[in-house]
């Protein structure tokens, strides 16, 4: 990746910039139409300065939950189910560690968006040569399509389990999420956030009931959150642990978060940005703790239901659905599982579609109609699912799900490395540059994720 040798023209200083470096100095375009998601940019009003801290905080609640969706999508379910069935509660520590990594990376993405007024895709286009930007765009589109594959598959499988709808038709039905996004965003971005939070609430309630039904031993669950050396020394356990981390950190979430934090109408001054960043990071941290609970709950239910009952080989979502009620002895358990899966798939396709719009606009600066852009993004994910399902049935869909996770592993470096590089650069971030300690931690987390994902890729390709 080679940086541009000439600096772009900078907008003139304004009064609120006096005495400090321009933090968004690497913008290539300014003025109307250059904002990220211009139709909702700065459209959500925030509580005035005299309001209570709770009202101020609630003004910024929403983007974190939209990001959290990507950390509990159907791609995570398979690894969580497999980990719980094979190794009980041991891999809960891996879920916790991967979630802490996600909290850090999402905080960096929010910092980039708030401090510079640019999302990650726009920042890459501004910084790198056109050839590099095109490469980054292509890899990001592949990642979004791969992520969409998992989400479309999850939605189709849930519709099949609940309503006996064939997988092909279920995949086609998932296309309607494009219209959901269009309708809700036309009403206002708050409506889209409320829709996402409502579905997240359904998922959390479903798994809270399932955990209560499973009644896992509390001591074993708490012990599972303590890292165990066997995770590294046991090859099969290490493979699933890497899969959990690879499925947890989603590259498109970094693009998404750096954009949607700019929907708030906070003062674009240093003080306004600092306050917005503080509330935004709190929002995303709380939301990602909800994602931690849901991912942990999937593994806990799987461990309680399958690990000690002779079903350690459960790895497919359909198998888990079929066996949950008989093993737990409660008929509603499987239904709750499928309802949560449907809510997860729907939620993930909505945020994935929005991420596709952000990436396409940010890298290419396209101005095609919103409905067309969303249908294109969704169609690129639906077509492979429909074709593979028609030719190979549910077994082919399972293989496609595995392939989608491999593609995500390939793309992750192209999102994480530029993000950490940008927020560490004082020329771009000004006074919002992260400190040396956070820089070291961020590069360490990036390095761990990259090494583990490349190992997952190698192991998968090597069979």
Answer whether residue 157 is part of any domain.
Answer: yes
Answer whether residue 88 is part of any domain.
Answer: yes
Look at residue 375 in the predicted model and tell me its pLDDT. 72
Closest Cα partner for 216 from 310, 332, 87, 303? 303
Answer whether residue 90 is part of any domain.
Answer: yes
Q: What is the CATH number of the domain that holds 254?
A: 1.20.1740.10
Cα separation, 317 vs 353, whole angstroms: 23
DSSP 257-317: HHHHGGGB---SSHHHHHHHHHHHHHHHHHHHHHHHHHHHHHHHHHIIIIITTT-TT--SH
| The two three-digit tokens of residue 110, written as one number | 């929010």
Look at residue 400 in the predicted model and tell me its pLDDT. 67
DSSP 129-164: -HHHHHHHHHHHHHHHHHHHHHHHHHHHHHHHHHH-
Range of the domain at 258: 33-461
Three-class SS of residue 3?
strand
Look at residue 303 in the predicted model and tell me its pLDDT. 93
Closest Cα partner for 108 from 213, 225, 261? 261
Three-class SS of residue 354?
helix
| The two three-digit tokens of residue 442, written as one number | 């961020």
Which H or E element spans position 255? Answer: helix 251-260
Answer whether residue 22 is part of any domain.
Answer: no
Answer whether residue 3 is part of any domain.
Answer: no
Question: What is the pTM for the complete model shown?
Answer: 0.87
Answer whether residue 92 is part of any domain.
Answer: yes
Closest Cα partner for 148 from 124, 177, 120? 177
Instruction: Please give the backbone phi and psi of residue 326, each rounded to the nearest 5 degrees, phi first.
Output: -60, -40
Is 347:192 a contact under the CB 8 Å cutoff? no
CA-based max dimension of the chain = 69
Answer whether residue 441 is part of any domain.
Answer: yes
Put residue 166 in one of left, alpha, beta given phi > 0 → left and psi -120 to 50 → alpha. Answer: beta
Answer whether residue 249 is part of any domain.
Answer: yes
Three-class SS of residue 128?
strand
Count the Cβ atoms, other than its own, within 10 Å of residue 98: 25
Cα separation, 373 vs 396, whole angstroms: 28
3-state SS, 108-121, equals HHHHHHHHHCCCHH
Cα separation, 285 vs 103, whole angstroms: 6
Cα separation, 346 vs 364, whole angstroms: 27
Q: What is the pLDDT along the chain (463 residues), one digit of tens a residue?
A: 444 433 333 344 443 443 334 444 444 444 445 788 888 899 999 998 888 999 999 999 999 999 998 888 777 787 888 889 999 999 999 999 989 999 999 999 999 999 999 999 999 999 999 999 898 888 888 877 777 777 777 888 889 889 988 888 887 887 777 777 778 888 889 999 999 999 999 999 999 999 999 999 999 999 999 998 888 888 888 878 877 876 677 788 899 999 999 999 999 999 999 999 999 999 999 999 999 999 999 999 999 999 888 888 887 788 888 889 999 888 899 999 999 999 988 888 778 778 888 888 889 877 667 677 667 766 776 777 777 767 666 666 666 666 666 676 667 788 899 999 999 999 999 999 999 999 999 999 988 877 877 776 777 677 6
Look at residue 12 in the predicted model and tell me its pLDDT. 41
- CA-based angle 71:74:77, to the nearest 5? 85
Is 324:333 a contact under the CB 8 Å cutoff? yes
Look at residue 104 in the predicted model and tell me its pLDDT. 95
Domain count along the chain:
1
């Amino acid at each position: 990746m080679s940086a541009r040798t000439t600096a772009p023209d900078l907008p003139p200083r304004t009064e609120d910039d006096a005495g400090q470096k321009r933090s968004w100095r690497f913008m290539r375009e300014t003025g109307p139409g250059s904002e990220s998601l211009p139709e909702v940019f700065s459209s959500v009003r925030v509580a005035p300065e005299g309001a209570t801290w709770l009202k101020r905080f609630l003004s910024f609640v929403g983007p974190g939950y939209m990001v959290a969706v990507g950390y509990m999508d159907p791609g995570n379910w398979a690894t969580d189910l497999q980990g719980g069935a094979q190794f009980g509660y041991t891999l809960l520590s891996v879920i916790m560690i991967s979630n802490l990594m996600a909290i850090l990376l999402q905080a960096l993405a929010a910092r980039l968006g708030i401090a510079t007024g640019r999302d990650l895709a726009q920042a890459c286009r501004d910084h790198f040569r056109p050839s590099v930007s095109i490469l980054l765009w292509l890899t990001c589109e592949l990642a979004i399509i791969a992520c969409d594959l998992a989400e479309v598959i999850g939605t189709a499988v849930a519709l099949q389990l609940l309503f006996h709808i064939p997988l092909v038709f279920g995949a086609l039905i998932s296309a309607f999420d494009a219209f959901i996004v269009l309708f809700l965003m036309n009403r206002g971005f708050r409506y889209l956030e409320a829709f996402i939070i409502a579905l997240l609430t359904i998922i959390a309630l479903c798994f809270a009931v399932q955990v209560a039904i499973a009644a896992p031993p509390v001591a074993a669950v708490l012990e599972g959150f303590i890292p165990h050396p066997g995770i590294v020394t046991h090859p099969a356990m290490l493979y699933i642990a890497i899969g959990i981390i690879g499925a947890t950190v989603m590259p498109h979430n970094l693009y998404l978060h750096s954009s949607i934090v700019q929907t708030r109408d906070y003062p674009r001054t240093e003080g306004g940005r600092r306050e917005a960043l503080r509330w935004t990071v709190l929002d995303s941290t709380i939301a990602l703790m909800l994602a931690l609970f849901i991912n942990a709950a999937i593994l806990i239910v799987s461990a309680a239901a399958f690990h000690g009952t002779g079903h350690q080989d459960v790895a497919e979502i359909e198998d888990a659905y079929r066996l949950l009620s008989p093993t737990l002895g409660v008929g509603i358990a499987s239904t709750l599982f499928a309802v949560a899966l449907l809510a997860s798939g729907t939620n993930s396709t909505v945020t994935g579609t929005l991420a596709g719009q952000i990436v396409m606009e940010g890298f290419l600066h396209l101005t095609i109609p919103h409905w067309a852009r969303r249908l294109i993004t969704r169609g690129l994910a639906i077509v492979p699912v429909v074709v593979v399902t028609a030719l190979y049935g549910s077994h082919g869909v399972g293989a496609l799900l595995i392939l989608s996770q491999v593609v995500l592993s390939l793309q992750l470096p192209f999102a994480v490395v530029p993000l950490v590089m940008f927020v560490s650069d004082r020329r771009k971030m000004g006074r919002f540059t992260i400190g040396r300690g956070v820089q070291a931690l961020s590069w360490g987390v990036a390095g761990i994720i990259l090494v583990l994902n490349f190992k997952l890729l190698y192991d998968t390709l090597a069979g």
